[in-house]
Amino acid sequence: MKQPLKYIYHRTLVGKIVMNLYHYFNKKIVPEQIYLKYKYKKHFGQFPDLKKPKTLNEKIIWLKLHDRTPLHTRCADKYEVRGFIKESIGEEYLVPLYFQTQDVNEIIADNLPDAHCIIKTNHDSGGGIFVLDKTKMNWEDIQQKLKQRMEKNYYLKSKEWQYKNIIPRVIIEKLLQNSKGDIPEDYKLHCFNGKVRMIQVDIGRGTSNHYRNWYNTDWQREPYKWSSPKGPGKYTDPSPDDVPRPKTLNKMISLSELIATHFDYVRVDWYDVDGKLYFGEVTFHHDGGNKPILPKQWDLILGNELILTKLKLQDVAKD
C-alpha cells in the first residue's frame, strides 16, 4: 500500500496538491504547541509533558514555546550575532567576513575575494556553498539557490521563534582550513544554566562515516548517544575511536560560559584551526528536541540537571 501512495504523492499532480495543502496547513494554520507536540510524538511515540517537563528533550520543546527574547533572535541571526560575540568575548574569535548583502544579484565573482570562502544565508539552518575558485562557479545557479533560501522562513518549518523575524541576507566568510587544507573539527558545547555540561564532536560530517562522540569537560566519554539520521536506517552514533582532547578545550569552555550566561540552555559551536579558536554559531534547540537520547534514562538524567528559570518562577508564584 505504501508504494502506490508514494507514487501518487510524488509523481502525480493530485499528490503534489495534497502534499502542498498538508504542509501549508501544518506550517501556517496548526497552533505551535499542537504542531510541536505531534512532531515530538512522531519521534518518541508519546506526547511531551509541557506542563511539568522532565526530560531534556521535553525541556527543549518547552523552551521553544516559552523562552523568547530579542537576544535569541539576534544570536540566531548569523550576521547580527557577530556584534554580540564582539561585545561578549572579542572580535578576534569571529571568522573574517568578506561580504554581505540582501540582494542575491550582488553575489558575483567581482564581489568575492580571490581567497577560499563560504557563502551562506543568515536566517536558516543549513550548509554553505564552498568557493575554492570563483572563476569556475556557476553564479546564476548559485543566485537562484540563494533566492529560494531567502524566500523561506525557517520558523515555519521548525517553530523556533528566534528565526521568525530575522531579515534574510547572504554572508560570505573566509573558508576555515587547517595547515593540511582540511576543514577543521568543530566542537559543540552544550551549556546548562551558564555552565558547559557536555561536548559534542562530529567526525566525518557529510560522509557515510559521520560519527558523533560525546565528552564531559574532563574529556571523558559520556555513557549515552544523542544521534541524528545520516541516511535510511543509519545514525550519527559514537565512533569506536576517540577524538584527541583539543589543546584549546579550557579556553572553549570559559568562552562558551561567558556567552551562555544569558540563557538556560544553549549550544555554542567552535572551530579549532591549528590552535586558533573561531566562533561558529549559537543554537538554542539542539535537533529541535526531537531526537531520542539513548539509553532512555539519560534523557531524564540530563533533564533533571537543566533548570528552567521561567518555569521555576511560575511554580514559586503559584506557591
In the prediction, which pLDDT does 68 show?
A: 96
- For residue 232, the model assigns a pLDDT of 85
Cell of 92: 578576534
Per-10-residue mean pLDDT, the chain, length 319: 58 63 62 94 96 97 97 98 98 98 97 96 91 96 96 93 97 96 92 98 86 97 95 91 96 98 98 96 96 98 96 60
275: which residues sit within 8 A by CB, 6+ positions away? 247, 248
Beta strands in 2-122 (DSSP E): 97-101, 117-121
Residue 203 buriedness (CB in 10 A; 0-12 / 13-18 / 19+): middle
pLDDT at 319: 47
pTM of the model: 0.90
Task: Name, in order, each residue with C-beta under 8 angstroms of 262's C-beta and a sequence gap of 6 or more.
Answer: 71
Q: Do residues 283 and 267 touch, judged by C-beta distance below 8 A? A: yes
The pLDDT value given to residue 204: 85
Distance CA 103, CA 96 (A): 20
pLDDT of residue 30: 84
pLDDT at residue 316 in the model: 44
pLDDT at residue 88, as a whole number: 97
The count of C-alpha atoms lying within 13 angstroms of the C-alpha of 128, restricted to the half-sphere facing its C-beta, is: 21
Q: C-alpha grid cell for residue 25?
A: 496547513
pLDDT given for residue 233 in this prediction = 85
A 10 A CB-CB count for 170 gives: 25
- A 10 A CB-CB count for 66 gives 13
